[in-house]
Amino acid sequence: MTAILSILGSSWDMFLDSSIYMLFGLFCAGFIYAYSKTETIGRYLGKGKVRPVFLSALIGIPIPLCSCGVVPVATGLKKQGANNGATLSFLISTPETGVDSIPLTYALMDPLMAIIRPVVAFISAVTAGLLENFIGKPGASNELPLSATQDICCSKTTSFPKQNLGFIKSSRIYGGLKYAFIDLLGDIGKWFVIGLLIAGLISYLVPDNMIESYLGNDFLAMFVMLISGIPMYVCATSSTPIAAALVLKGLNPGAALVFLLVGPATNIASLSMVYKMLGEKALLIYLFSISGCALLFGFLTDLLYKGLNISAKASIGKTAELIPLQVEIIAAMIFIILLVNAIIREYRTPDACTCTNSL
């Protein structure tokens, strides 16, 4: 019983720190949903080899979709005229970060990692997109129909974005808030809670000196995070408390960054879908760009933390302490109500489905 209480206590502390940032991130996601149109976006991603790649990477940064959920959206963009490089760029930048995970990274880790994470996601996406457009095979694809990709791994949030223009319940604002606090929260909420529980388990079960003893070498730690992150799936939101817990146990910030990038961007299902949609060469470029950029910037991140004399372990969660405890508790209560409501509504929806391999 003591062990369970200790695990739940650690998880609750992280939940308390992150609730207000999750609410803020979800509100931003709803705003983006309400005022974005894939039909308009698609028109700018087809002409040229460079500009569409940069645009698709920028577009993908704030959108909160997992590596499975992003595939049908990317397929839709491709059908609307986006070239292969732009499509691949969107497939990487979108799941690696989002308006929900950036504030969460700020709350549970530190401001520096909250900046590095989306910047490296953008660079990884641009690298892959440019490589695909310049050395990939133009038009090469084993593309599945949109409905087929949804059958493999679908989600209530994969239809991003659609709105009905009207008044009150069909208004953009209402549609955006409904998407954010019901559809999106129902889709990622349970995995966020699981991520918090795993973080609590790590805090309780992993001795303080274990990671330093076995993964004391920074390069080895990054390589282990890379190998373990490629086949598994942790969404950008649920990966954050896990990374924070690992850093608290001694993991270097560069290895944590590798986990934060690779875990959300890749898993067995998404890799197979990239192959089906864009071809074998694009899949190799996809893996090379994500892995290479993650390792390179993991190394540079370690150098940056050391150069600035910042202890990643000591700075974990410090920014969340800026919020008064009373405000955190109120935000946590509101978030719990919204979370429970979203999850219940998701399971009551007959046609709802989620990525079955998600974590």
Angle, helix 111-135 to helix 280-307, in steps of 10 degrees: 150
Q: What is the pLDDT of residue 42?
A: 62
CA–CA gap between residue 74 and residue 271 (Å, rounded): 14
Cβ atoms of residues 225 and 257 within 8 Å: no
Give CA–CA dist 156/275, Å, rounded: 23
Give Rg (Cα) of the chain.
20
Q: Say which residues have a Cβ less than 8 Å from residue 202's Cβ, sequence separation at least 6.
A: 242, 245, 246, 249
Which of these, 315, 253, 324, lies nearest to 16 by C-alpha position? 324
Q: Could you read off the pLDDT tens digit of each residue along the chain, which spans 359 residues? A: 788 888 888 889 889 888 888 898 888 888 877 876 656 666 677 678 899 999 999 988 988 777 667 777 777 777 777 888 998 999 999 989 888 889 999 989 999 999 999 999 999 999 999 999 998 766 554 444 444 444 445 444 444 444 444 444 457 788 888 888 988 888 778 888 888 898 888 888 877 677 777 777 888 999 999 998 888 777 888 889 999 999 988 899 999 999 999 988 887 777 887 888 888 899 999 999 999 999 999 999 999 999 999 988 888 877 767 788 899 899 999 999 999 998 888 777 655 444 444 45
The answer to whether the beta carbons of residues 120 and 113 sit under 8 Å apart is no
Q: Where are the domains of the chain?
A: 2-348
3-state SS record for the chain: CHHHHHHHHHHHHHHHHHHHHHHHHHHHHHHHHHCCCHHHHHCCCCCCCCHHHHHHHHHHCCCCCCCCCHHHHHHHHHHCCCCHHHHHHHHHHHHHCCCCHHHHHHHHCCHHHHHHHHHHHHHHHHHHHHHHHHHCCCCCCCCCCHHHHHHHCCCCCCCCCCCCCCCHHHCHHHHHHHHHHHHHHHHHHHHHHHHHHHHHHHHHHCCCCHHHHHCCCHHHHHHHHHHHHCCCCCCHHHHHHHHHHHHHCCCCHHHHHHHHHHHHHCCHHHHHHHHHHHCHHHHHHHHHHHHHHHHHHHHHHHHHHHHCCCCHHHHCCCHHHHCCHHHHHHHHHHHHHHHHHHHHHHHHCCCCCCCCCCC
pLDDT one-digit tens code per residue, 274-327: 888 888 899 999 999 999 999 999 999 999 999 999 988 888 877 767 788 899
